[in-house]
A = this chain, B = another copy of it.
Amino acid sequence: MVVELVSVGTEILMGNIVNTNAAYLAEQCTALGLLCYYQTTVGDNEKRLLETVQTAMKRADLVILSGGLGPTKDDITKEVCAKACGRKLVMDGASRVAIEKYFEKMGKEPTENNWKQAQVPEKSIVLPNPNGTAPGLIIEDEATLILLPGPPNELIPMFQNSVLPYLQGKQEAVMISQTVKLVGVGESSVATAIDDLFDGQSNPTIATYAKTGEVHLRVTAKAEDEKKARKLLKPMVKELKERFNEHIYTTDNDVSLEQSLVELLVNNQLTVSTVESCTGGLLAGRLINVSGVSEVFKMGHITYSNKAKRKIIGVKRSTLEKYGAVSEQVARQMAKGCCMLAKSDVAVSVTGIAGPEGGTEQKPVGLVYIGCCIKGKTRTKKYQFTGNRRKIRESAVAAALVLMRECILEYIAEMAFGDKK
């Protein structure tokens, strides 16, 4: 079954917001084995939206639209889709009551434009929206149209609770992907190392994706059922495992680098703490996005100023004066000091120049030192990142996670070797 995504909103066309809904819907559709050939974004303009919906209805079996269901006058998705299918709008009693209840719960009064949201095209399936006032809609016509609200915190639960069960009954083939996630190796080298695997590929297929500090290899197989698809995937994933070995941190689609790290810490009963300068909390923020991190995360510190580095973490004044805050020596003392303060097994430190100000010829913007102390042994590494402030900070966080992983694996290997002696 072929699906097409249509995102509606002048705010996307004008670049005010990033279209995360399309990524979410695309991923969900892929997981369902649906084939997606086009994603289109179009504004809140009747003529162009109608044309887009009509084209999509010709090209695909299923068209998922997001956005333009809000209470304001420029929200016209529902009206245009009703027109594309030649249907009238009627008042939906249940939606009217749901809107009343929603406002009651929020302790607010509905405004006149909220009632527009209870109007639905005749003979459509109404999807409840517990997180907002715009109900979703399914219109079964030449192609099936699914209309979802734009805000992700309304769209995602509605997709999970209403659309997913609806679509699961309509599958023809199963398409399954497995992602082999690599660190410590570049995209070009990865591409060269698997070039021969591309030549014969048809099922499974393989694709490379560059992420900040990571390369992902996505292997996708298509078959009539999940079991057969998994059987097709297996030898290719095995081949990749042999080729990339220790660079692979997971072969699980849903496991992030920070998640694999937290698992590594939990499984080896190692606690961790962080001390950050230029990344200012983002490293801890990524680790703490892992549910269950509380078992191993002891504490984190953001020592942006030199004073905080001295006062909280115990970096020596003389070291700061002699080498500067962005130096191998300070990164080392930060990691060591953090281990001692937090009484953690592992501590990671980051100090660098995220810019745009603060760079010099000797220490340009993008220079970052990362330290990792594990059971008293400290390793540091120097990096030179490019991009704007945000990109440099993201790269530094990714690099810190990668260095931390290397140090932990090294430590585990040493311990295993020590036990054998």
Contact = CB atoms under 8 A, between A and B. Distances in A.
Given A281-B300, A389-B291, A27 B14 contact: yes
Contact of A282 (B220, B285, B305, B312): B285
B302 A281 contact: yes
A391 B153 contact: yes
A322 to B, nearest CB: 21
Contact of A218 (B14, B45, B216): B14
Nearest to A44: B207
Copies in the complex: 2
B291 A280 contact: no
Interface in A16-55: 16-20, 22-30, 36-43, 45, 48, 52
Nearest to A25: B15
Contacts of A388: 156
Contact of A281 (B114, B133, B152, B288): B288
A279 to B, nearest CB: 7
Nearest to A288: B280
Contacts of A133: 188
Interface in A173-232: 177, 186-189, 191-192, 195, 198, 207-211, 216, 218, 220
Contacts of A420: none
A178 B297 CA distance: 43
A55 to B, nearest CB: 9
Given A18-B19, A288-B280, A207 B308 contact: no
B299 A308 contact: yes
A303 interface: yes
Interface residues of A, number: 106
A289 interface: yes
Nearest to A114: B188
Given A16-B209, A188-B114, A274 B302 contact: yes
Contacts of A291: 354-357, 389
A337 to B, nearest CB: 14
Interface stretch (A69-77, A163-171, A233-241): A69-77
Given A18-B23, A114-B188, A305-B298, A38 B36 contact: no
A381 to B, nearest CB: 16
Contacts of A319: none
Nearest to A193: B111
A284 B299 contact: no
22 contacts: A12-B39, A13-B26, A14-B218, A18-B18, A37-B45, A39-B40, A72-B198, A72-B208, A73-B198, A108-B189, A111-B192, A133-B188, A152-B391, A153-B386, A156-B387, A279-B288, A280-B300, A281-B285, A282-B282, A292-B357, A294-B305, A299-B303
A304 interface: yes
Given A281-B285, A285-B285, A291-B354, 4 more contacts: A15-B28, A16-B218, A40-B40, A279-B285
Interface in A312-335: 312
Nearest to A7: B39
A113 interface: yes
Most buried by B among A23, A45, A303: A23
A182 to B, nearest CB: 14
A211 B73 CA distance: 19
